[in-house]
Structure 1
Amino acid sequence: MIRKNRNNEENQDHLRSQDNYSVKHSLEYTRRVNQNVESWYTSADNKAQILLTLNGVFLGFLASSFFSDMNKIEKINEYFGLETLGFLSFMVLGVAASMFAALMCLRSRLHASESMKFEKKSPTWFFADISKIETEKYVTMLSEVNEDVERDTMAVETSLLSTNVVAKHIWINRGFSFFISGLFFFLMAGTSCFIRLSYKMDNSYNLWPTILGAIVIIIGWSVYKILK
């Protein structure tokens, strides 16, 4: 009888140790996942800051190259055809859209947290949730935190944070695409102006067919190389 009781106690101890190991293992994994998601969050913010810097450098280059000497603009203006103005307009739209996308990526998401609707967690992680809790109540909640609560809370917040991280990376990818498009249209505007200056064509000449043909050839060649 005594031996049987000892065996039962040993089995219970073994089960408890397995449960403790399972909780600790899942908690460590949840922490690693959270750190990984936070690193992607930081990466998106860093890319957005780089994109804003690139836009600032580009705008500074335009300002120093053209607006510093109004006489230069007046001389070149007569060689600005409709296609040149069109490319410059698309360039402005591309740069503006790029900066807007970067700002949307950096925008703080301070709306009401959806984590409060989950039952198996304690709202003691996200600062927006903490701000809605009285100090004394918050201290009491912290005193009741254990490994299970920490794991569940971190898992919920990591899941919600992942949604924000995906949105941030979508915006920053759009931003770089818009920025590259702006540079492309600036290059096309410069090419148009260079052709007119080289062949002494004022803005009465229509270069749209030539420019559009060149664009089609470039895009077609790029698609061919990609699909090859």
Structure 2
Amino acid sequence: MELNITVRLARHPAREGRRFSEFAVTLEERMTVLDALFRVQRGMDSSVGFRCACRVGMCGTCAVLINRVPRLACSTPVKGLGSDVVTIEPLPGYPVIKDVAVSLAPFFDQWRRALPAFRPKDRDAPALVRIPRDSPFGRLAGPKRDCITCGACHAACSITGTNAAYLGPAAINKALLRILDPRDAASGDRLKILDSQTSGVWRCHTQFNCTAVCPRGINLTESIGQVKRALLRPRKAFQA
């Protein structure tokens, strides 16, 4: 079965004063939005710009706005959208490089501010202590480890769109993973960074937008809530 759709693609810079270009595309039933982009680029307009790498939903490179929702183009079947018109735009909140390709520099600027690197308590240890999956840390951290830094949560968040200082859901989730890790020595430093009315967890309005669009199914809103509880009730914050 074939699908006949119109791809409505945002252009940057605008083409002849038009912000969107439209392409009539025929796809096989199981094809994705990324397949549609390749059909356009290879057969209709070689100047179309977008980003991709793994094509299997593991790298996060192809995240774009599809019919107004941040998604991975490679993991979004066109048929599942239920529309004959597929509008593809760059993720909001990021500098546009070309068409729907953006720079994730703002995302990684905030990521670095959250101190994502592991800081061992024992720097002279001959080997890193292994923590079993069924340990308290393993149970708490397991569902939160799969972030692929695609930037979709940052784009969906209503706070990052109005407050450039806000760390954002992914950075806070990463900081939480380090705070939970009993081998890490910088939990106190991270909690100080996160305990901010302007850039930290208190800016989150608990709208679950970030959780709704995470392609890895991470409950980012829950992660932010855990940090809030850690700041308010340190002794009872983290329970497996």
Q: TM-score range with shorter-chain normalisation?
A: under 0.3
Bigger relative contact order (CA 8 A; separation at least 6): 1
Q: Give the TM-score taking structure 1 as reference length.
A: 0.23
TM-score by length of 2: 0.22
